[in-house]
C-alpha cells in the first residue's frame, strides 16, 4: 500500500517509518492475503497480453505475483522496507519479481517510458490527496505511448481522515485525460471482496499521446 512521500496530513501518508512499524507488528489491514479477484478476472479475460508491468505501492506483492505468473515482466515497488522484505521472502522462482524499494516520487530515471502497464491497487489512496496530480504525472512518465493504466480504486466512498484517503474516480479520470489518456473501461466490480464491494471502481485508461510532447514534469521529460 505504501507508495511514497505524501506531504501534509497523517504521518502514515509521508513517513516510511509508519508503514515499517505496521509491517513489523503484522498490522496490514489493506492486505487481502492473496490477489484481488478483480485482477484475476482481468487476466482470465485474455484482453491484456503480457508485457512490462509496474506496480506502485506493491505491499507484500500478491497482485504483482499474480501477473508475473501469467507471463508479465513485473517491477514491484514500495518505499517500506518491510514490504520489500516480504516480497523477497515470497518470491516465486518460476516467475520472479523485480523488487524495488523506492519512493514513488523519486524513482530512478531509467524507468521512464519503460512499461506497457501500471497496475494500481491501494497506492493512490495512501498518498496525500494534494499530490494526486503528481501521482498521475509519475504514472504517465512510467508508461510508453500506448501503455495502459489498470486501476482498482478503493475507497471511493466518503470517509474522514486517512490513509486510506477516499479516491473520486471522476476527478482522477480528468487528471489522466489532461495528460493524453483515453478511458477504455469503468465499472463497479461485482467480484470485489465482500467488505469492499460497492466501494471500489475499476478503471482502464490508455496513454494515446507521447507524454514528453506534453512537457508535463521533470520525471517525464527532463531527466
Per the listing, cell 521472502 goes with 89
Strands 143-153 and 201-207: antiparallel
Is residue 4 in a domain? no
**How far is residue 7's CA from residue 103's CA, in Å, rounded to a whole number?**
12
Q: DSSP letters along 3-20, please? A: -S---SS-HHHH-HHHHH
Task: Compute and round to an integer the Cα radius of gyration of the chain.
Answer: 16
Structural domain contains residue 5? no
**Predicted local confidence at residue 44, as pLDDT:** 97
Low-confidence ranges of the chain (pLDDT < 70): 1-14, 16, 18-30, 210-223
* Phi (first) and psi of residue 122, to 5 degrees: 65, 25
Q: Which three cell numbers stand for residue 101?
A: 524499494
pLDDT value, residue 84: 93
| Domain assignment of residue 189, yes or no | yes
Query: Domain range spanning residue 54?
Result: 11-222
Structurally, how many domains does the chain consist of? 1
Handedness of CA 79, 80, 85, 91 (dihedral sign): negative
pLDDT of residue 138: 98
CATH of the domain at 103: 3.40.50.150
The answer to the question of residue 108 being in a domain is yes
Residue 126 maps to a domain: yes
CB atoms within 10 A of CB 186: 15
Q: What is the pLDDT of residues 70-119, one digit of tens each?
A: 999 999 999 889 899 999 999 999 999 999 999 999 999 999 999 999 99
Q: Is residue 190 part of a domain?
A: yes
Neighbours of 52 (CB within 10 A): 18
- The greatest distance separating any two alpha carbons of the chain, rounded to the nearest whole angstrom, comes to 46
- The answer to the question of residue 92 being in a domain is yes
| pTM across the whole model | 0.88
> What cell does 170 get?
471522476
Task: Output the pLDDT for position 7.
Answer: 38
* Residue 2 within any structural domain of the chain: no
Report the side by side order of strands in the sheet with 181-187.
98-101, 73-78, 52-55, 115-121, 143-153, 201-207, 181-187
Confidence at residue 92, expressed as pLDDT on a 0 to 100 scale: 95
SS3 content of the chain, % helix, strand, coil (to 5): 35, 20, 40
Stated as kind and residue range, the H or E segment containing 116 is: strand 115-121
Residues 81-96 as b or e (16 or more Cβ within 10 Å = b)? ebbbbbbeeeeeeebe
Amino acid at each position: 500500500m505504501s507508495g511514497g512521500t505524501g506531504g501534509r496530513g497523517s504521518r502514515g501518508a509521508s513517513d516510511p517509518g509508519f508503514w515499517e512499524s505496521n509491517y513489523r507488528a503484522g498490522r496490514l489491514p489493506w492486505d487481502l492475503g492473496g490477489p484481488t479477484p478483480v485482477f484475476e478476472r482481468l487476466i482470465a479475460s485474455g484482453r491484456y497480453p503480457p508485457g512490462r508491468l509496474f506496480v506502485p505501492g506493491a505491499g507484500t506483492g500478491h497482485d504483482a505475483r499474480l501477473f508475473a505468473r501469467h507471463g508479465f515482466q513485473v517491477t514491484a515497488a514500495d518505499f517500506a522496507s518491510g514490504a520489500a522484505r516480504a516480497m523477497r521472502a515470497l518470491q516465486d522462482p518460476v516467475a520472479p519479481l523485480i523488487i524495488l524499494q523506492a519512493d514513488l516520487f523519486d524513482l530512478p530515471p531509467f524507468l521512464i517510458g519503460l512499461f506497457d502497464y501500471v497496475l494500481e491497487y491501494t497506492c493512490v489512496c495512501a498518498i496525500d490527496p494534494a499530490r494526486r496530480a503528481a501521482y498521475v504525472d509519475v504514472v504517465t512518465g512510467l508508461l510508453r505511448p500506448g501503455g495502459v493504466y489498470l486501476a482498482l480504486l478503493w475507497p471511493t466512498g466518503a470517509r474522514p481522515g486517512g490513509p486510506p484517503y477516499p479516491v473520486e474516480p471522476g476527478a482522477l479520470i480528468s487528471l489522466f485525460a489532461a495528460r493524453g489518456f483515453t478511458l477504455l473501461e469503468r465499472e463497479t466490480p461485482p467480484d470485489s471482496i465482500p467488505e469492499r464491494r460497492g466501494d471500489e471502481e475499476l478503471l482502464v485508461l490508455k496513454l494515446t499521446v507521447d507524454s514528453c510532447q506534453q512537457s508535463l514534469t521533470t520525471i517525464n521529460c527532463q531527466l
